[in-house]
Amino acid sequence: MHRLAVLAAVSALLAGCQSEQECTLLAARAGVGLEVEAPLAARAETVSMQVCWDGSCTPVAAGLERSSKMASATCSGDTCSATGVRTADKHGFGEVKGLPKRPVRIRLKLLGAGSDPVLDRTVEVTPRGSFPNGPGCGEGGPSTSLIVSGDGVVRER
């Protein structure tokens, strides 16, 4: 009985020595991110995606928005500011409930004005889990990201 009490006391002491990791409340949605580079982005008005795995396909709703980047940043003491500028690229994200962490097939269509086809490609990618709050704070939804180059080549980021 004495050994059990000593073991319990040592365990409690060691548990108290561990530092607690603080976790933020950032979330990570399961889905597919998309970046379309110029000059192709200028012709792309909307996006249509279909994600397939295990013999079934899921249509994915995603919008396209103009991208931006940081043009300049300045700091004075402990205060910083940044100026953003729009680029000729576009980006979007489509949520995919139940997206697995194994290979999936994505059919990506970019449509122009009047729903004219700009690009129609199918790629196989492997979504991965993400840890937006750090590895000790739980895993967010699996996701993947596609980059469409200005000349229409699609690759996984």
Residue 58 pLDDT > 60: yes
The domain segmentation of the chain, as residue ranges, is 25-156
Residue 74 pLDDT > 70: yes
Least confident of 5-9, 50-54, 93-97, 123-127: 5-9
pTM of the predicted structure, to 2 decimals: 0.78
Question: Quick one: tokens of 75?
Answer: 């700091």
What's the mean pLDDT when you consider all of the chain?
87
pLDDT of residue 27: 77
Q: What own/partner pairs with CB < 8 Å and gap ≥ 24 does 51-56 have?
A: 51/96, 51/99, 51/104, 51/105, 51/106, 52/104, 52/105, 52/106, 52/107, 53/100, 53/102, 53/103, 53/104, 53/105, 54/100
Residue 90 pLDDT > 90: yes
- Summarised one tens digit per residue, pLDDT across range 99-146 is 999 999 999 999 998 889 999 999 999 999 988 888 888 888 899 999
pLDDT of residue 72: 87
Residue 18 pLDDT > 60: no
Mean pLDDT computed over 20-40:
88
What phi, psi does 59 have (nearest 5°)? -70, 140
Cβ neighbours for 21, distance < 8 A, ≥ 6 positions apart: 134, 136, 137
C-alpha 90/C-alpha 63 separation (Å) is 10
